[in-house]
Amino acid sequence: MISDTAFTLLNSFWLPSSPAWVYIAIFFVKIIEVAMAIVRIVLITKGVKLLGSIIGFFEVVIWVILAASVLTNITTDPYQVIVYAAAFSLGNYLGSTIENRLALGSVSIQAIVKKIHGKQLSKELRQLGLAITAVDAYGRDDRKEILYMHVPRRNIDKTIDLIKSFQKDVVISVNDIRPMYGGHGILRK
């Protein structure tokens, strides 16, 4: 039979010593902190430095308090570490989802289309308010036109759908860009 001391040691290791609300608080606060970190990084890379810095202040305050709490109890309650790690993972997912919904900044889209579609497609894209630069090109079998455009991230899908409505086998590349200067319809001067 297990002695009382051994039983107490086993229970202290396998059974959580913190009340359930502590785990819930760690979980949700860590998710919020990580989501804030992702949004902060995106804001700063998109040139919105002041708001990114303000978010960073609150993010670090939350991190210091939460990390200190978990580390203080690491030997008596190792389950807090597991909750912390799980929340970190979920926070990354949530932060990425929030960042996608915010759709900050612009992207550069290049579409290589058949020459016969180039002029009409450029006209349609311009009606959406996009600035298009068209360049003649030569493909393996026929003449092409490369369309260069800078598009707000929230309009990527609509732009790609319009391009594909003209030509199914189009080659499209989308690149994230930093703040832009100059040009038609560009925000910074």
CATH of the domain at 117: 3.30.70.120
Instruction: pLDDT band for 46, please (50, 70, 90 cuts).
Output: confident
7, pLDDT greater than 50: no
Same domain for 87 and 9: yes
CB 51 within 8 A of CB 39: no
Q: What is the pLDDT of residues 111-125, one digit of tens each?
A: 999 998 889 999 989
Tally the domains of the chain.
2
Considering the domain architecture, whether residues 41 and 120 belong to the same structural domain is answered as no
Sequence-distant (≥ 6) Cβ neighbours of residue 8 within 8 angstroms: none
Residues 20 and 83 in one domain: yes
* pLDDT score at 9: 46
Neighbouring C-beta atoms of residue 124, cutoff 10 Å: 16
Asked if residue 181 belongs to a domain, the reply is no
Question: What tens digit of pLDDT does each residue of 127-184 get?
Answer: 988 889 999 998 888 899 999 999 888 888 999 999 999 888 899 999 988 766 666 6
Least confident piece of the model among 32-36, 85-89, 154-158? 154-158
Same-domain check for residues 77 and 139: no
pLDDT of residue 73: 81
Last residue of a domain, one of 84, 102, 120: 102
Same domain, 17 and 96: yes
User: What's phi and psi for 110, nearest 5 deg?
Assistant: -120, 130
Q: What is the pLDDT of residue 10?
A: 45
Q: What gap in Å lies between CA 93 and CA 99, rounded to an integer?
A: 10
- Give the pLDDT confidence of 71-82 residue by residue, as tens digits: 988 888 888 999
**Based on the domain organization, do 121 and 94 belong to the same domain?**
no
Query: How large a percentage of the chain has pLDDT more than 70?
Result: 85
Instruction: Establish if 67 belongs to a structural domain.
Output: yes
On the question of pLDDT at 26 being above 70, the answer is: yes
Whether residues 91 and 65 share a domain: the answer is: yes
111 neighbors 147 (Cβ within 8 angstroms) = yes
Residues in Cβ contact with 14 at an 8 Å cutoff, skipping those fewer than 6 apart: none
* Sequence-separated (6 or more) residues with CB below 8 Å from residue 17: 73, 76, 77
Domain that holds residue 164: 106-176
Find the mean pLDDT for residues 19-48.
90
Which of 134, 23, 149 lies closest to 79 in space, CA to CA? 23
Whole-angstrom Cα distance, residue 14 to residue 101?
41
Q: Identify whether residues 24 and 97 lie together within a single domain.
A: yes
Check whether 4 has a pLDDT greater than 50.
yes
pLDDT surpasses 70 at 25: yes
**83 or 141, greater pLDDT:** 83
Residues in the chain: 189
Please check whether residues 151 and 116 belong to one and the same domain. Answer: yes
In a domain, 182, yes or no: no
Comparing 151 with 16, which gets the higher pLDDT? 151
